[in-house]
Amino acid sequence: MTTFISGGLVRANDIRQHYLRFGGKGRQLLIVPGITSPAITWAEFAEEFGRDYDVYVLDMRGRGLSESGPGLDYSIGAMAADVAAFAEAAQLRNYLLLGHSMGGRVAPVAVTRFGATPDKLMIVDPPITGPGQRGHGATHEWFTDQIAAGARGDMTVDDMRAYFPRWSDAQLALRVEWVHTCDPRAIVDFRIDVLKDDFHNELPKLTIPTHLMIGGQSPLITEEEEAEIAALLPALERSRIADAGHMIPWDTPERFQQLCREFFSRG
């Protein structure tokens, strides 16, 4: 039986924010997806979490059914303010916050700068680019070419498999269907801002239990960089999933959910 309840819209931080809700009982869990991951692409994981949690998955601005357009600010700060405002609008209390990739950069800032008040924070393989750090590996076009092909309507599952070779046909088909809803400027603006926004400065400001999950085959956080991060926040819990790339939930779904549940249930 599905745990899906409904989709919904709220106006928060002066924009339209769309979300999907699963479960409806248990502790509230707010999921902040990655750079080209509309909320619907997280449905398979939210379905499972919905067995034990009241799950909300956000469409970040410029993605899915949330507000988009040339006048929007697509910076980390703007998106972090969205997350904090959504949590308040949805009346989330004593909730858990999970951010993957871009969401892993946005979620901490929602807490440190914009007053979000989750009880725990799970950060999943965020890019740690910033002042004094190394730059991006992939180009802007790696992302925007997918969006352009999706917008034309001529992208196939096999075309998308070139980007995500480990995914199932169903996962690839869902991404083909929804990737066109991502605003290319939202992708480029974030990738520019993430080189300027100082993750290493924000991390030590976190006072809530925080777990960093790293893909062992992901290029985003080396073991040396992990050690540097750990020194900045000694209380940080960490896990490195040896057989997962950057897309940990899709690469190793059982391990991903197990680690999340163990962290969320402790204490």
* Residues in the chain with pLDDT values less than 70: none
**Which DSSP string corresponds to 36-72?**
T--GGGGHHHHHHHTTTEEEEEEE-TTSTTS---TT-
Instruction: With beta carbons less than 8 A apart as the criterion, state whether 174 and 198 touch.
Output: no
What are phi and psi for residue 167, nearest 5 degrees? Answer: -85, 155
At 239, list the tokens. 């896990």
Confidence (pLDDT) at 227: 97
Predicted local confidence at residue 236, as pLDDT: 98
Residue 9, φ and ψ in degrees, nearest 5: -130, 140
**Tens digit of each residue's pLDDT (9 = 90 or more) over 204-217:** 999 999 999 999 99
From CA 231, how far away is CA 146, in angstroms rounded? 37
What pLDDT sits at residue 241?
A: 98
Q: Which two tokens stand for residue 180?
A: 């066109």
In this structure, the strands spanning 15-22 and 4-12 are: antiparallel
Phi then psi for 235, rounded to 5 degrees? -80, -5
Q: 20: which strand partners?
A: 7, 57
How does DSSP classify residue 203?
G
What pLDDT does residue 81 have?
A: 99
Backbone angles phi, psi at 27, to 5 degrees: -70, 145
Kindly state the DSSP code that residue 181 receives in the 8-state scheme. G
C-alpha span between 214 and 93 (Å, rounded): 28
pLDDT for the residue 267: 78
pLDDT, averaged across the chain = 97
* Tokens (6 digits) for 251: 């690469």
Go through 35-53 and write b for each residue having 16 or more CB atoms within 10 A of its CB, e for each that does not: bbbbbbbbbebbebbbebb
Tens of pLDDT along 100-123? 999 999 999 999 999 999 999 999
Give all domains of the chain, ordered by start, each with its CATH number: 4-132+197-265 (3.40.50.1820)
| pLDDT given for residue 254 in this prediction | 97
pTM: 0.98
